[in-house]
Amino acid sequence: MRRKNWRVVIAGVFLIVMALVFFFFMLSIAPKSNDPVALFRTVGTVVGVVGGISLVMIIIGLIGKKV
């Protein structure tokens, strides 16, 4: 029997939500930027990395560890 680690799952969900909030916040700032293309390359990289880490955290948390 495996025991799920809900703290890791909740932290992963929180990170995904924060990444989406950051993305949409930067979407509102982009038109005022001098180089919106470069800005969104950086924003996309950051959101992708944080999203990937959070998905891994959720999967590991749901798999859990042996009791």
| pLDDT over threshold 90, residue 66 | no
What residues contact 57, with CB distance under 8 A and at least 6 apart?
A: 8, 9, 11, 12, 15
Query: Residue 19's Cα: distance from chain center in Å?
Result: 4
Question: What is the arithmetic mean of pLDDT over 24-31?
Answer: 93
Q: Please report where in the chains the tokens 């001098």 appear, as a residue.
A: 34
- Number of structural domains (the chain) is 1
pTM, 2 dp = 0.86
- Count CB neighbours of 61 within 10 A: 19
> Mean of the pLDDT values across residues 20-40?
93
DSSP 33: S
- What is the domain range of residue 48? 2-66
